[in-house]
Amino acid sequence: MRACVLFAFVLAMSACAQQGESVSRSGGVFDPYEQSNRKTHEFNKGLDRAIVRPASTGYTTIVPDEIEQSIGNFAENLSMPSVTVNALLQGDLRTAGVATSRFLINSVLGIGGLFDVSSDFGIEEADTDFGETLHVWGASEGAYIELPVLGPSTARDTVGTVVDIFTNPLTYVLPSPEEYYGTAASVASRLGDRGRFTDTVDAILYESADSYAQLRLIYLQSRRFELSGDDSDAFVDPYEDEIFPDPYEDPYAE
C-alpha cells in the first residue's frame, strides 16, 4: 500500500515539475511561489541564527577534525546502498558498481565506514539521488521551492528527497535504534560543513542585499551544473558582471 501511494505521489509531483520547463531549460528562474518561499527563507535564517550556526560553531570547536572526518565517512558509507539503487534506476551500471564496492570495502576494512579505505585503493567517490534519477527519466526541475529546515530545492528534487527515504535498503534491514545511526551521522556531518564554511554561508545569508535571491541563484546554477555532467554551458557564474556588476568599475568609462 505504501509503495502504491508513494508511486502515485511521484507521478503527481513529476507532472507538476513539467511546469516552467522552457524557463529552466533556458537557464532562467521559475519561482511562482516566491512569496511563500521568502517566508520560509526568513524562518530558515532565524533557525540558522538561533540554533544551527551556534551548534555548528560549537561542534567544529569541540570535536577533533579526525573524528569529524570519521563521522562524515560513516554517513557517506551508509548512503552508498541508496546511491546503488538510484544508479541502477538510471541505467548507470558503472556508478552502481563503484558505490557497491565502496560500501563493501569501507564497511569491512574501514570499520563500518569510519575510514575511507576505498579512496586509498583508488576507488572514486560515487554520488547520486532520486532527484537525478527523475532528471534522467526526463522530468524537468519545475518550480523553485525553499523547504523548511532543508533549504533550497525544486519540485523535482523535493520528490527526490522524499523518495530517497525509501530507496536505501538499509532502512528495511537495520533494527531500531541502529536504523537511525545514519541520520544522526548525516546531521552531524552537515553541522561540520556549516562550521567549516561559516564565512561563506554568513556572507550569503547575512551580508548580501537579497539573501533569498542570491541563495536561489547559487543553488539552481550549481544543481544544474551537477546534473549536466561535463556540459559547461549549463553553468552560469552567479558573479558575472551582468548579474553582480563590479562595484569598482568606473561608470563613466567608455
Closest CA to 137 of 154, 155, 156: 156
DSSP 3-state percent helix, strand, coil across the chain (nearest 5): 65, 5, 30
Pure H helices in 26-109: 34-47, 53-62, 65-89, 93-108
Examine the pLDDT at 163 and tell me if it is beyond 90.
yes
pLDDT in tens, 115-154: 999 999 999 999 999 999 999 999 999 999 999 999 999 9
| Amino acid making up residue 22 | S
Contact 36, 157 (CB under 8 A): no
Tell me the whole-structure pTM to 2 decimals: 0.81
- H/E element, 147: strand 144-147
pLDDT in tens, 45-79: 999 999 999 999 999 999 999 999 999 999 999 99
**95's grid cell:** 556508478
How far apart CA 93 and CA 72 sit, in angstroms, is 25
Q: Which residue has the higher pLDDT, 240 or 200?
A: 200
Measured in degrees and rounded to the nearest 5, phi and psi for residue 147 equal: -90, 145
pLDDT in tens, 83-125: 999 999 999 999 999 999 999 999 999 999 999 999 999 999 9
- Lowest-confidence pick of 63-77, 173-187, 191-205: 173-187
**Overall average pLDDT of the 218-243 stretch:** 67
